[in-house]
Structure 1
Amino acid sequence: MVGLPAVDGKQYVYRVYAPGDALPADLFWDAWHCHDEGPFPRAWDLFDAAVIRRVPAA
């Protein structure tokens, strides 16, 4: 799960499917590009502003 803060003050959370050895930066960019292509206000493109939590596979 990757939470991206946006210019409207909200945080948008995305589930990113990736292999277990994926780098946090890869997860961030996948979520950011997904958000950027959507209808929502611009998200901050700062890696340090994102909240990344790994969720175990079910």
Structure 2
Amino acid sequence: MSWLVSLPALDGREYVYRVHAPLDALPADLFWCAFHCHDDGPHPRASDRFDAARIWPITADT
């Protein structure tokens, strides 16, 4: 299963990451997976506030 995690960054943009995880994955685990992927990249720093992220599953409707 795949999830999308949107992280707001200091440059005012939102960066969206696809995270592969089971259906029963914890939202915090999805957040940290996306955050560390972003943090390892060349983009401006993303907010590390969990409540600032948006997380949703990829479904057939998406």
**TM-score, normalized by length of structure 2?**
0.88
| Count of residues in correspondence between the two structures | 57
Amino acid at match of 2:51: D
Find the aligned partners of 1:46 and 1:40 in 2 and give their Cα distance: 17
Gaps of 5+ in 2: none
Find the aligned partners of 2:6 and 2:32 in 1 and give their Cα distance: 11
Residue 17 of structure 1 is matched in structure 2 by 20
Residue 53 of structure 1 is matched in structure 2 by 56
**Between Structure 1 and Structure 2, which shows a larger proportion of strand residues?**
2
Question: What do residues 10-50 of structure 1 show as CA deviations (whole Å, max 9, x unaligned)?
Answer: 00000000011100000000000000000000000000000
Amino acid at match of 1:9: G
Amino acid at match of 2:34: A
**TM-score, normalized by length of structure 1?**
0.94
User: Following TM superposition, where does structure 1 have runs of at least 4 consecutive aligned residues deviating by more than 2 angstroms?
Assistant: none
Residue 28 of structure 1 is matched in structure 2 by 31
Gaps of 5+ in 1: none
Q: 2:45 aligns with which of 18, 42, 53?
A: 42
